[in-house]
């Protein structure tokens, strides 16, 4: 399926095949049924795709390789979605400036409270290396204006995560996992 191979070296190309896949988020490492893992995917999944994620010319991956690598880690699913819906930074992080990362362009999710790092650094769970993340950590305490904006929503989210963990535990017929899920 050469037609599905990702584009390379085309920053901010109009959303296409991989943008649509990112929004659907069907990889098992990103979801189970209708439940999306982690805090990032649910927050970003309803946003509009603004670009087709483009790989660096040095990463000419075929569609199968991209699919395989995305599904290795939840963070990779998140990185692809951020690259699709996020905001390109005028002043890229140090890592992107040095040409590191899978994607062309340093794209941030605009929700620094849960993910200060750019998509490129987040890929492979390397977010800590991002200069944005370091800035966020060392910078002033986050504004308190968001505290308490949606306490019910976050409680619901927490419950949904616990229910999901229990469900997974049953899937594996593993009582140990269930105990861990219930923090017993």
| Number of amino acids touching Zn ion (CB under 5 A) | 8
The residues near 135 (Cβ < 8 Å, ≥ 6 apart) are 116
Collapsing DSSP to helix, strand or coil, 159 comes out as helix
Kindly state the smallest distance separating residue 59's Cβ from Zn ion, in Å.
Answer: 15
Reading the block at residue 110, the tokens are 């605009």
Kindly state the smallest distance separating residue 32's Cβ from Zn ion, in Å.
Answer: 28
Kindly state the smallest distance separating residue 18's Cβ from Zn ion, in Å.
Answer: 18
The smaller minimum CB distance to Zn ion, of residues 31 and 122, is found at: 122
Residues in region 85-144 near Zn ion by CB under 5 A? 93, 95-96, 106, 118, 120-121, 130
Closest C-alpha among 32, 113, 39 to residue 81: 39
Q: Could you give the C-alpha distances from 69 to 11, 27, 62, 82, 145, in angstroms and in order?
A: 21, 11, 11, 16, 37
Q: Does residue 70 belong to the site contacting Zn ion (CB under 5 A)? A: no
Where does residue 153 rank: exposed (0-12), middle (13-18), buried (19+ CB within 10 A)?
Answer: exposed
The smaller minimum CB distance to Zn ion, of residues 40 and 169, is found at: 40
**How far apart (Å, rounded) are the C-alpha atoms in residues 33 and 176?**
23
Instruction: Return the ∠ at Cα 74 (arms to 77 and 118), rounded to 5°.
Output: 60
Kindly state the smallest distance separating residue 70's Cβ from Zn ion, in Å.
Answer: 18
The smaller minimum CB distance to Zn ion, of residues 123 and 181, is found at: 123
The smaller minimum CB distance to Zn ion, of residues 41 and 93, is found at: 93
The smaller minimum CB distance to Zn ion, of residues 36 and 96, is found at: 96
Residue ranges that bind Zn ion, judged by CB under 5 A: 93, 95-96, 106, 118, 120-121, 130
């Amino acid at each position: 399926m050469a037609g599905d191979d990702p584009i390379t070296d085309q920053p901010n190309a109009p959303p296409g095949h991989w943008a649509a896949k990112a929004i659907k988020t069907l990889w098992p490492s990103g979801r189970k049924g209708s439940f999306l893992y982690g805090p990032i995917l649910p927050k970003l999944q309803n946003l509009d795709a603004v670009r087709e994620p483009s790989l660096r010319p040095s990463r000419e991956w075929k569609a199968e390789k991209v699919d395989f690598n995305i599904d290795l880690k939840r963070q990779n699913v998140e990185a692809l979605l951020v690259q699709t819906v996020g905001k390109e930074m005028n002043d890229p992080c140090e890592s992107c400036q040095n040409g590191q990362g899978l994607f062309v362009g340093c794209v941030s999710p605009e929700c620094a409270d849960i993910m200060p790092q750019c998509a490129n650094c987040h890929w492979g769970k390397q977010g800590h290396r991002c200069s944005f993340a370091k800035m966020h950590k060392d910078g002033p305490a986050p504004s308190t204006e968001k505290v308490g904006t949606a306490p019910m929503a976050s409680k619901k989210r927490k419950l949904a995560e616990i229910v999901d963990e229990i469900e997974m535990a049953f899937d594996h017929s593993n009582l140990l996992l269930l105990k861990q899920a219930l923090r017993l």
